[in-house]
Amino acid sequence: MALFGKKEKTEFALPEVLPEHVGFIMDGNGRWAKKRGLPRSLGHREGAKNFRKIVRHCKDIGLKTISFYAFSTENWKRSQDEVGALMNLFRDYLADVRNFLSENTRMVFLGDKSAFDPDIREKMEKLEADSAQYTEMTILMAVNYGGRDEIARAARILAEKAVKGEISPADIDEQAVSDNLYTTGYPDVDLLIRPSGEQRISNYLIWQCAYAEFYYTDILWPDFTPEELDKALIEYGNRNRRFGGV
């Protein structure tokens, strides 16, 4: 049985040229639960179920690279109960994700894995290794991730290379920085989608979003449907991306 369930039919005519990289900030799980008088942990569980549905739809319509902001470097500040529930949910996901490795989907985790318990870290690393040869679609999952932290990390790597004499400071350009980010080898974000009504990127892929188109909606993540994704893609197709030109 496939992890993501049955294929969703799109009701909209999608643009001929789809974005190379669509990013999602999965926001609103806690508010979804609060509106229903439920624990926040149940909101996160519903959000995880919707993640599966959205990933399946992305694959069905032919998106090649998708990324998800799952857990930020700042999320450790939440209550121990909520962080613990998120970690257990992540464990469940890492066990369940094996069901779709045969679907030719690659998994890459963005962020500092060292902060996680050894069992979680080992499962992430094994999943990356086992799916490394898959090419139909790539899921970039940002966990213990922060955009500023990622750029600082790239700066440290380049500084160490300069100290060792491997590069000159004059060699450090935009490409050099990009080559030392977690996302090296993957396209920058073309379309960033944030549900929940918030209109900010919250330290997510801030280098890679330099020329991204943004799509905001008041819909909370557990209620974000494939049809809403189609609407975002259609709006993206109608925008004029000039990249600083006329």
**Would you please indicate which residues are annotated as catalytic (active-site) residues?**
27, 75
Do residues 111 and 144 touch, judged by C-beta distance below 8 A?
yes
Rg, Å, the chain Cα set: 18
* Pairwise CA distance, residues 98 & 46, whole Å: 20
Q: Which residues contact 182 (CB under 8 A, 6 or more apart)?
A: 110, 111, 145, 150
- Please provide the distance, in angstroms rounded to a whole number, between the alpha carbons at the two ends of the chain: 50
Q: Please report, as a single letter, which amino acid is at residue 69.
A: Y
- Contacts of residue 14, defined as CB under 8 A and 6 or more positions apart, other chains included, come to 61, 230, 233, 234, 237
Size (the chain), residues: 246
